[in-house]
Structure 1
Amino acid sequence: MMGLRRASAAERGRVEKFQRAAYARTEATVGAQAIPLEWDYGQILEQCEVWLDESGGALRGVLILRVLDEALFLESIATAPDAAGSGRGRVLLEATFQRARKLGKTRVGLIANGLNPALSWYRRMGFLIDREVEQPGRRVIHMSADVPEV
């Protein structure tokens, strides 16, 4: 899938370490723990597709997708801190849409903290807000987008 490869269960520690580094800037902005850092990555690796974006042996991005009956759910899209603004996120999002097309899905969903600066990026990428849910310490934004045709 666009130069990405599936992570193995043996790479759990590597994925967790990457996610902590990637979401540190989001946590600093929103003032709360990022949702993907609350997860048990053993379960994530069993229940989801975890895709790795590597370059020269270095991990540049992690994409976590959950296949649902009605849609493909984008659990996490994370890039290396030094890759911010480089277009890696767009590459990972296009890989998400590519995977959805392969699976015959017409929608991609996601959730984000209402204070996450990535919300404007998601909107620019075609995601619309479906609903907002107040939770203790955060407002969770549920978004979805049509999978673009090729």
Structure 2
Amino acid sequence: MIETRAARYEDLAAVHSITQRAYAAWLPVLGYPAQPMTDDHGPRIKRGEVLLACHGQHVLGLIAVEPSDDHHLIFSVAVDPDSAGKGIGPRLIAEAERQAFLAGKRRMTLYTNALMVRNIELYLKLGYRETGRRPNTARPGFTIVDMEKMLDDI
């Protein structure tokens, strides 16, 4: 049985490893490491922003969510490649949406690279809509896709 729980500091190595392995598939597409690969997840874990999907003690995937005043932002979703295709990413996203809704938020947002077409397709399938595209100021020549989902009575 897969359960979700908040990440603890002792999960930091697993969070880092899964993030590196999950996003490694995008290195040939992007030509550079995606932002979550270079992020220090320690402070996010300390703030309670990282949720894990676990089977027993084994971490299968994670979602990092940044709360703000009127919405929550999905910063990263990463699933261990050995567990990919089993619905873990959508399960983590649904749980993050549920927690945001219970916290009084009515909107989830995210942004991704326009070249990450599979991810965009997944978000669309999960009810997100594209709200705009903008240049990536950190990576000239690349485009960021902004997306959102309204959280209606989850």
Give the whole-Å Cα distance in 1 for the aligned partners of 2:92 and 2:19. Answer: 15
* Residue 48 to residue 73, structure 1, CA distance change in 2 (3 Å): farther
Pairing 1:61–2:65 present? no
Where do residues 68-83 of structure 1 align in structure 2 (5 Å cutoff)?
68-83=68-83
TM-score normalised to the size of structure 1?
0.89
Corresponding residue number in structure 1 for 2:151: 147
CA distances 1:63-118 after superposition (whole Å, capped 9, x unpaired): 11111001011111111102222111111111011111110110000111110121
Give the whole-Å Cα distance in 1 for the aligned partners of 2:48 and 2:39. Answer: 12
* Aligned-partner residue type, residue 122 of structure 1: Y
Give the whole-Å Cα distance in 1 for the aligned partners of 2:59 and 2:10. Answer: 15
| Residue 33 of structure 1, CA deviation | 1.2
Give the whole-Å Cα distance in 2 for the aligned partners of 1:146 and 1:123. Answer: 13
| Residue 48 of structure 1, CA deviation | 5.1
* Residue 11 to residue 56, structure 1, CA distance change in 2 (3 Å): closer
Give the percent of matched residue pairs that are identical in Structure 1 and Structure 2: 24
Secondary structure at 1:91 match in 2: helix
Corresponding residue number in structure 2 for 1:8: 8
* Unpaired segments ≥5 residues, structure 1: none
Corresponding residue number in structure 1 for 2:26: 26
Give the whole-Å Cα distance in 2 for the aligned partners of 1:148 and 1:28. Answer: 37
TM-score normalised to the size of structure 2?
0.87
For the 8 Å contact 1:97–1:148, the answer to whether it is kept is no
Secondary structure at 1:104 match in 2: coil
Q: Which moved more, 1:32-41 or 1:62-71?
A: 32-41
* Unpaired segments ≥5 residues, structure 2: none
| Residue 8 of structure 1, CA deviation | 1.8
Corresponding residue number in structure 1 for 2:90: 90
CA RMSD of superposed structures (Å): 1.8
Give the whole-Å Cα distance in 1 for the aligned partners of 2:30 and 2:83. Answer: 20
